[in-house]
Structure 1
Amino acid sequence: MATPTPSLSPPPLNLWIILSESKRIINAHSRHFLALSVLFLLPLCFSITVYPSVFLLITDQSSASHNTVSLLRGGLHNNSDDDIDSKTTVLLVIGYIVVITVFNLLAIGSIAYSVFQGFYGRPVKLNSAVKSSFASFLPLLATLTSSNLIVLGGFLIPGILAFVLVKLIETIPGVEFDYASSYFQGFVTLVTIISIAIAVKLYVNWILAWVVVVVESAWGITPLKRSKRLVKGMKCASLSIIFFFASTESILVWISTLAAYAQLNDNENGGKSWTDAFFVVQIVITSAFLTLLTLYNLAATTVMYMYCKAVHGELVWEIAEEFAREYVSLPFDDGKVPHLVSVAYNNI
């Protein structure tokens, strides 16, 4: 009686495996990813870190100048000053959104391409990665716009339904709707929780959409649908990636905001000596850590894309076409010992 050949299957996908593979790929091409980080991620993370300080500084100066003008004019309120303040704030927010969007999309295009090439053990070149970033920019922008519109709809639909329900209740004779009541506050909280849950569910399904745009040259709604198919059965890994990087990056942004408030308050009290030095050190350290986290976030998403393709039986065909052998070893420069990833033909 012949002994059945044991079936090889990919290891269970979890956050640790994804981060380990991401680390191996980044270490194998450390100079390449360092260059991409300096080009695209560092300006992005520096803008995120400095924005709270710049926003508070500009708004504080605008408020101070507005108060001074009001006092000189006998305390009369001037609408033109309010218009200037609001225009400055709006322009600052728009500029910030444009900067982080541009550098974020360029970083996705270059890093996802580089990790994809590194996963196969192919040469990773800076020129090719930069070209990929610009070639993928418009498709990524179209996909980002599509996803944001869908998420916006996920927030608006429950809000509109709640608004209609409140208006219907107000039309009932003898019924007065108290907006300050605890029941209404609880109702608003429930609607908000439902909207957030819808957004999280969408982002869990769409985590691979940006890699699909770069690797498969798709855009718009198509990468979102493609990502949802690939993530099927891997939603726990997707949620763990989102939660891990969202929480750690949010902590760094929170630290930057606290430092900005501390800097502003200390300047108003006349003490600048120690807060200026602390503020500069905080910006440098926070930007560096945020750059590293963002790099690993993009790399982890691309690695998860490859694992999901392997689990769904898609990766073996691509490897078979490229290497034309049953088991494939994908080399990564992990010190002097190569790292081998074997893919079994279980789905053939």
Structure 2
Amino acid sequence: MATTSSPPPPPPVNLWVVLTESKRIINAHSRHFLALSVLFLLPLCFSITVYPSVFRLIADQSAASHNSVSLLRGVFHDDQPPPAGADTATVVLLLIAYVVVVTVFNLLAIGSIAYSVFQGFYGRPVKLISAVKSSFTSFFPLLATLISSNFIVFGILLILGFAAFLSTRLIQLIFPGLEIDYASPYFRYVSMVVMLIWIAIVIKLSVNWILAWVVVVVESAWGLTPLKRSKSLVEGMKSVSLSLIFFFAVTQSILVWISTVAASAQIDDDDNGNGETGKLWTNAFFVLQIVITSAFLTILTLYNLAANTVMYMHCKAVHGELAWEIAEEFAREYVSLPFDDGKAPHLVSVAYNNVR
């Protein structure tokens, strides 16, 4: 009696599987993702790369200006303080401009790339106009979700800080003669413990919220709803979420750190050589390292956004949601999703018997 053999089970989802499928989708539509990267990711990554150098240049020029004013005061015995307000205003305006640019381009990139990867995962046509339209359509929902998540994160920090403050006051009430020196090492240790607790909570929240931005784009939700939806989808996949966050956080941070150190070294060389930090921008090595760092950071950010979207699809499959969606579209017992990489199709099978 002949027996029908069932297809082999899919490989367990891990970091490598998510990155491999992300790479396959990106390669299948390389020109499309290149265009999106140039439009949204490159300005974002260039701003992140060049901001530390610009901030250092302004700070050094401000210090040099204050030293010159102090020297003139010593010569002419002028008691008028140096005009530091203009330098402070420049730094604040630069910081505000940096935050605005990074936020806007980051949200636009999420909206366009998440939409494109979602379409590419199903093997549907990926069009640049539709992706750009999705980026602007989902911009304000993404912004509302970002504000909601930041409100929660900084609210937790305020609660921890307030709890630490109440603890010190309670100790002073219990021991009236005890004086707490806020500059003592013990108080710094307490502050460090509070920060470590806050960082641990932020990491846990990041693991639960990793899919929130994809949920906003794909499911047209916003605010707290995508955060709750992401938390439910990540159940059973938290190790993959943590590995994704750790991998991209480490690689991107190392890249930015190397760029910042190289730029600082160039600034120090210019200061020691002729004292004119403005000539840094004509330094070929400085310009080259900015270009290379921005390019690699753009690639990493593209893969980060693509990997989050691919993980969203895998989480839906784990919870039995993906099979129903494919069933409505194809109405077959085992459905294969094509990933056309230009050479050979890549197949992902979803079985119905795991769905109740």
User: Is TM > 0.5 for Structure 1 vs Structure 2?
Assistant: yes
CA contact (8 A) 2:208 2:231 kept: yes
Partner of 1:347: 355
| The one of 303, 308, 316 aligned to 1:309 | 316
Partner of 2:148: 146
Q: CA deviation at 1:275?
A: 9.0
Partner of 1:16: 16
Question: Partners in 2 of 1:145 and 1:180 — Cα distance?
Answer: 34
CA contact (8 A) 2:69 2:82 kept: no
CA contact (8 A) 1:10 1:311 kept: no
Question: Partners in 2 of 1:4 and 1:337 — Cα distance?
Answer: 26
| The one of 184, 188, 195 aligned to 2:187 | 184
Q: State the Cα deviation string for residues 223-253 of structure 1 (Å, max 9, x = none).
A: 0000000001111000000000000000111
Q: Does 1:278 align with 2:292?
A: no
Matches within 5 A, 1:188-203: 188-203=191-206
Q: Does 1:221 align with 2:251?
A: no
The alignment covers a number of residue pairs equal to 348
Question: Partners in 2 of 1:31 and 1:274 — Cα distance?
Answer: 31
Matches within 5 A, 1:23-42: 23-42=23-42
Q: What secondary structure is seen at the aligned counterpart in 1 of 2:348?
A: coil
Q: What secondary structure is seen at the aligned counterpart in 1 of 2:13?
A: coil
Aligned CA distance change for structure 1 residues 274 and 97 (closer, same or farther; 3 Å)? closer
Q: What secondary structure is seen at the aligned counterpart in 2 of 1:318?
A: helix
Aligned CA distance change for structure 1 residues 78 and 24 (closer, same or farther; 3 Å)? farther
Matches within 5 A, 1:154-169: 154-169=156-171
Matches within 5 A, 1:1-348: 10-74=10-74, 81-171=83-173, 172-270=175-273, 276-345=283-352, 346-348=354-356
CA contact (8 A) 1:155 1:195 kept: yes
Q: CA deviation at 1:153?
A: 1.2
**Larger deviation: 313-322 or 256-265?**
256-265
**Larger deviation: 290-299 or 320-329?**
320-329
Q: What secondary structure is seen at the aligned counterpart in 2 of 1:123?
A: coil
Question: Partners in 2 of 1:78 and 1:6 — Cα distance?
Answer: 86
**Larger deviation: 283-292 or 333-342?**
333-342
Q: Percent identity?
A: 74
Aligned CA distance change for structure 1 residues 78 and 278 (closer, same or farther; 3 Å)? farther
**Larger deviation: 298-307 or 188-197?**
188-197
CA contact (8 A) 1:70 1:77 kept: no
Q: What secondary structure is seen at the aligned counterpart in 2 of 1:239?
A: helix
- The one-letter code sitting in structure 2 at the alignment partner of 1:21 is E
Question: Partners in 2 of 1:68 and 1:293 — Cα distance?
Answer: 44
- The one-letter code sitting in structure 2 at the alignment partner of 1:347 is V
- The one-letter code sitting in structure 2 at the alignment partner of 1:261 is S
Q: State the Cα deviation string for residues 298-319 of structure 1 (Å, max 9, x = none).
A: 0000000000000000001111
Q: CA deviation at 1:183?
A: 3.2
Q: What secondary structure is seen at the aligned counterpart in 1 of 2:103?
A: helix
CA contact (8 A) 1:263 1:275 kept: no
Question: Partners in 2 of 1:257 and 1:187 — Cα distance?
Answer: 31
Q: CA deviation at 1:268?
A: 0.9
Question: Partners in 2 of 1:28 and 1:184 — Cα distance?
Answer: 55
Q: What secondary structure is seen at the aligned counterpart in 1 of 2:25?
A: helix
Q: What secondary structure is seen at the aligned counterpart in 2 of 1:332?
A: strand
Q: What secondary structure is seen at the aligned counterpart in 2 of 1:84?
A: helix
Question: Partners in 2 of 1:78 and 1:9 — Cα distance?
Answer: 78
Q: How large is the RMSD of aligned CA atoms in angstroms?
A: 2.2
Output the TM-score relative to the length of structure 2. Answer: 0.92
Aligned CA distance change for structure 1 residues 166 and 176 (closer, same or farther; 3 Å)? same
Structure 1, unaligned runs of 5 or more: none
Question: Partners in 1 of 2:79 and 2:237 — Cα distance?
Answer: 58
Q: What secondary structure is seen at the aligned counterpart in 2 of 1:187?
A: helix
**Larger deviation: 191-200 or 111-120?**
191-200
CA contact (8 A) 1:151 1:199 kept: yes
**Larger deviation: 331-340 or 100-109?**
331-340
